[in-house]
Amino acid sequence: MPNLRFEVESVGSMRDSATPVLVFRLRVSNTPPEECIHSISLNAQLQIQPGRRHYAPAEQSAMNELFGEPARWGTTLRPLFWTTASTTVPGFASSTTVDLRVPCTFDFNVAATKYFHGVREGEIPVVLLFNGTVFYIADNAIQVALIPWSQETSCRISAAVWKEMMARHYPDSTWLSLQHEAFEQLYRYKVQHGLPTWEQTVEHVLAAAAKGHD
């Protein structure tokens, strides 16, 4: 039965995609290479490991919504689910490389987006957990085995890579998703006050709210 190992060799953004996509270059090894791998149907779950790095004061403030005050981080700074992705690994004997493409969102309703946005510089620690099905050749026949979730590897993503990717796809803007009812209320406010843009609408609402607290 194959004994697979996974390693992330590099992480970069996909330059020619219509939406933000990070590309994880995976090295997949079979040790010892006793059986020839026919193919692998591979799934990955990606988790952010916030406890594996330090945070500057500005980053601590940005993380307050996710983890609370830094004094509580001993209990709240837990692994954060990011996303899942899948790929097919072609046949190989001892090792091969394959690109795992991970679509990314700039939706600030998503915890992972808040985390990536809050990290100002440095690297973001991530763990990839794998499962799936491996098809291999043994005794002159194709055999099938399952990959357990215990298969994992870790890597670090440059915060600069994430920020450059989002700036390229959303230049000088941020994507915000609203529930339909909230959008309709904001839209009515925009029309009633004759505000030409959404930026001016939000600024008008914030100014009105600030006056109400004075």
**pLDDT tens digits for range 67-96:** 999 999 999 999 999 999 999 999 998 999
pLDDT in tens, 180-207: 999 899 989 999 999 998 889 999 999 9
Mean pLDDT of 31-43: 86
Distance CA 131, CA 15 (A): 28
User: What phi and psi, each to the nearest 5 degrees, are found at residue 160?
Assistant: -65, -35
Say which CATH class 4-169 falls into.
Answer: mainly beta
DSSP-assigned beta bridge partners for residue 167: none
Q: For the whole model, what pTM was predicted?
A: 0.85
Q: Assess contact for 95 and 143: CB atoms under 8 A.
A: no
pLDDT score of 34: 65
**113 sits in which H/E element:** helix 111-118
Residue ranges per domain, the chain?
Answer: 4-169, 180-213
Sheet of 4-13, strand order: 4-13, 21-30, 95-103
**Would you give the end-to-end CA distance of the chain in angstroms?**
71
